Amino acid sequence: MGERKFSAFSTQAIHAGESREKYADSLTTPIFQTSTYTFKDSKEIEAYTKDNKLRFEYGRYGNPTEKIAEKRLAALEQAEDCVLFASGMMAITTTILALVHSGDHIIITDDCYKKTLEFCESYLKRFGIECTIVPFGNYELLEASIKENTCFIFSESPTNPYLNVFDLEKFSQIGRKHNVLTFIDSTFATPVNQRPLEFGIDLVMHSATKYLAGHNDILAGAVLGNKEQISRIRSLHKSMGGLIDANCAYLLLRGLKTFPLRVKQQNESTLELARYLQAHPKVEKVYYPFLESHPHYEIAKAQMAGGGGVTSFEIKGDLDAAKRFIDGMEMIYIAPSLGGVETLITHPALVSYYDYTREERYRLGIIDSLFRLAVGIEDTQDIIADLEKGFARI
Ligand SMILES: *Cc1c(COP(=O)(O)O)cnc(C)c1O
């Protein structure tokens, strides 16, 4: 089918990956709700196996709705290829398993998504894969940690909840110099704000659950890179079976149509809210990469088009004050996750780190008065009005 190429970002978000002519003259991409695909006769089977398998065969190996979503994401990230998964964690774990062999060594920075760290540190160990965790931002130690058997280095930017920004150029140079793959979780940035491949990073991953789908209604993950790497990952993916289903792929395609608009709005609203919070008498500290006070402001401005839709802040007060603050929310939902149209607030100490002792949490910087605000696309005046209801209680 005649797939079209477009050069501009917002146009790609709407049209890339699909042909103008669709099944039954449908305008939107149909949901192909099928577990398998039929062959007319033996000749068609033979043509399929000879023809480099240029059609669909069985549901776990791919679905037309899913393929279109992969092509659209590849266009937005300007990657040669993309592989989609049922969740962000499925994307990370499948990719890592496709890359490593027992006896390998991997490096990950300490500010990564909690479940990613857990997988690398605890589960991979069982298979004889050694994992070094390096403090975020320590590029010298990162380079010094590379060994003969280092297979890849994994990092994230910006990170959760402090919005630390990693120097992608420096990162890719270290990887290239030592011939080690670099792998970045770019979920918080999205291709609106940063495209790691442009900095020479080898593999980029997104929890598409967040900004790409954007409506807090599905789970999905994506990994992007060159054809060779993605085909390695796709091959294991077919055995692991963590495929995104056709309905989810459709919702992702639909979400992507407004993705550039949403993220631009979220960039703008979040900067405004970060400034409001910074000026607030009941706020101790604000973290947002596009605030001059952020330690990585310079690098954020240099490598990102916008600061993204998440800001974290510490209120003046203890755990009790924090509970009273969050209980004041009437519009803003109290929930983990980010990147959707609804504004969400989370209290990391009570949610993501509930199973840590206070001492362990504080060592990681997860203090009692810390909140993460994942800004949606409501009018900022209403978000501020809600936060004020919380502030009035402390
Ligand atoms: C949510 C998230 C993940 C995990 O993605 P799921 O879709 O929830 O599996 C990984 N990395 C980051 C930065 C995330 O925010």
Separation of 112 CA from ligand 1 center, angstroms?
Answer: 10
Domain membership of residue 117 (yes or no) is: yes
Domain boundary among 226, 255, 284: 255
Same domain, 81 and 67: yes
Between CA 249 and CA 218 the distance in angstroms is 9
Same domain, 115 and 216: yes
Separation of 89 CA from ligand 1 center, angstroms?
Answer: 6
Domain membership of residue 177 (yes or no) is: yes
The number of domains in the chain is: 2
Same domain, 72 and 181: yes
The CATH number of the domain where 343 resides is what?
Answer: 3.90.1150.10
HEC-encoded secondary structure of the chain = CCECCCCCHHHHHHHCCCECCCHHHCCCCCCCCCCECCCCCHHHHHHHHHCCCCCCCEHHHCCHHHHHHHHHHHHHHCCCEEEEECCHHHHHHHHHHHHCCCCCEEEEECCCCHHHHHHHHHHHHHHCCEEEEECCCCHHHHHHCCCCCEEEEEEECCCCCCCCCCCHHHHHHHHHHCCCEEEEECCCCHHHHCCHHHHCCCEEEEECCCCCCCCCCCCCEEEEECHHHHHHHHHHHHHHCCCCCHHHHHHHHHHHHCHHHHHHHHHHHHHHHHHHHHCCCCEEEEECCCCCCCCCHHHHHHHCCCCCCEEEEEECCCHHHHHHHHCCCCCCEECCCCCCCCCEEECCCCCCCCCCCHHHHHHCCCCCCEEEEECCCCCHHHHHHHHHHHHCCC
Same domain, 152 and 288: no
Separation of 116 CA from ligand 1 center, angstroms?
Answer: 9
Atom index in ligand 1 nearest the CA of residue 160 equals 13
Separation of 379 CA from ligand 1 center, angstroms?
Answer: 26
Domain membership of residue 2 (yes or no) is: no
Between CA 112 and CA 133 the distance in angstroms is 10
Same domain, 144 and 280: no
Q: Is 361 a catalytic residue?
A: no
Atom index in ligand 1 nearest the CA of residue 220 equals 7
CB atoms within 10 A of CB 294: 23
One digit per residue, the tens of pLDDT, for the chain of length 394 reads: 467 777 899 999 999 999 999 999 999 999 999 999 999 999 999 999 887 778 999 999 999 999 999 999 999 999 999 999 999 999 999 999 999 999 999 999 999 999 999 999 999 999 999 999 999 999 999 999 999 999 999 999 999 999 999 999 999 999 999 999 999 999 999 999 999 999 999 999 999 999 999 999 999 999 999 999 999 999 999 999 999 999 999 999 999 999 999 999 999 999 999 999 999 999 999 999 999 999 999 999 999 999 999 999 999 999 999 999 999 999 999 999 999 999 999 999 888 888 888 898 888 888 999 999 999 999 999 999 999 999 999 9
Is ligand 1 within 6 A of the CB of residue 154? no
Domain membership of residue 4 (yes or no) is: no
Domain boundary among 192, 227, 255: 255
Q: Which of 84, 85, 87, 89 to mutate to test the pocket of ligand 1 (most atoms within 8 A of CB)?
A: 89
Same domain, 235 and 315: no
Range of the domain at 384: 259-391
Same domain, 166 and 103: yes
Same domain, 70 and 218: yes
Between CA 313 and CA 52 the distance in angstroms is 53
Catalytic residue among 72, 195, 210, 234: 210
Q: Which of 94, 184, 209 to mutate to test the pocket of ligand 1 (most atoms within 8 A of CB)?
A: 209
The CATH number of the domain where 82 resides is what?
Answer: 3.40.640.10
Domain boundary among 255, 277, 311: 255
Q: Is 126 a catalytic residue?
A: no
Same domain, 300 and 246: no
Separation of 346 CA from ligand 1 center, angstroms?
Answer: 15
Q: Is 327 a catalytic residue?
A: no
Between CA 279 and CA 62 the distance in angstroms is 51
Same domain, 35 and 180: yes
Is ligand 1 within 6 A of the CB of residue 209? yes
Contact assessment for residue 282 and residue 394, using Cβ atoms and an 8 Å cutoff: yes
Between CA 123 and CA 392 the distance in angstroms is 45
Catalytic residue among 185, 202, 368, 386: 185
